[in-house]
Amino acid sequence: MTEGMSLRERKKLQTRHRLLAAATELFAQRGFDKVSVAEIAEAAEVSKMTVFNYFAGKEDLVLAPMEEHVGDAARTVRDRAPGESALAAVRGQFLAAVERRDPSVGMSDLPVVLEVRRLIQETPALLTRAHAFSMRSFDLLAEVLVEEGEEPAIARVAGAQLIGTRNALIHANQLRLLAGEPADTVAADAAALAERGFALLAGGLGDFAIRR
């Protein structure tokens, strides 16, 4: 991850990771609402101002890693190969992420990742923001399809199906990992479930938005 980065960039990344780790630990111990930004700064051995230099607010200390993946489906569709449909591109990206045990598709069993998932589920403000990210993913994907000439209403119908399927699969993965199953045990089933889930869309979207 740090290959090719300058010393300054590496230090900034290390500070960011330290803040995320400190915040997650404190939230897990005492709950999201009972931890202040000042306490997070103290635990990470930085100033309160430094926290705000990296994150707009306390919620972002939990949700920033998730926000980085809001555009995954849209980027995947935008960059798909000639002759590849939007459905095939999204399915391929999802399966590759499962293979990598990527947290963005609910496939990481690292303790810090699982703790963040629990925090989101248990904290209404975080859950609301997470839902907003999902809606933004849908909007971005629909925008890509419209840019390619699809009718706006149809682009949103197709985008809703693709994002809805992704979200349902991610949720299924997260439930098993939060129940204590290792990611390596879940992965094969997750890939098979993804194949089944996306196959349900093939009748309507299999030939939709094929790159010319």
Q: Specify the pLDDT at position 3.
A: 63
Establish whether domains 7-56 and 64-205 are of one fold: no
Q: Which CATH number fits domain 7-56: 3.30.420.610, 3.40.50.2300, 1.10.10.60, 1.10.287.610?
A: 1.10.10.60
Q: What is the percent of the chain where pLDDT is above 90?
A: 71
Question: d(Cα 84, Cα 207) in Å, to the nearest integer?
Answer: 9
Helix ranges (H only) for the chain are 7-30, 37-44, 48-54, 60-67, 72-78, 86-99, 111-122, 124-147, 152-178, 183-199, 202-205
DSSP-derived letter for residue 108 is -
pLDDT digits (tens, 9 = 90+) for 140-187: 999 999 999 999 999 999 999 999 999 999 999 999 999 999 999 999
CB 106 within 8 A of CB 177: yes
Contacts of 195 (CB under 8 A, 6+ apart): 91, 95
Q: What is the mean pLDDT of residues 179-208?
A: 91
Q: Specify the pLDDT at position 13.
A: 87
CB 73 within 8 A of CB 203: no
Reported pTM: 0.85
Domain boundaries of the chain, sorted by first residue: 7-56, 64-205
Question: d(Cα 170, Cα 148) in Å, to the nearest integer?
Answer: 27
What are the CA-CA distances from residue 4 to residues 7, 10, 16, 65, 148 (Å)?
10, 10, 18, 21, 35
Q: Specify the pLDDT at position 101.
A: 95
14 pLDDT exceeds 60? Answer: yes
Domain boundaries 64-205, CATH class: mainly alpha
CB 99 within 8 A of CB 191: yes
Q: Specify the pLDDT at position 211.
A: 80
Q: What is the mean pLDDT of residues 102-125?
A: 91
Q: Taking the alpha carbons of 68, 197, 116, 138 in that order, is the dihedral positive or negative?
A: positive
Q: What is the percent of the chain where pLDDT is above 70?
A: 98
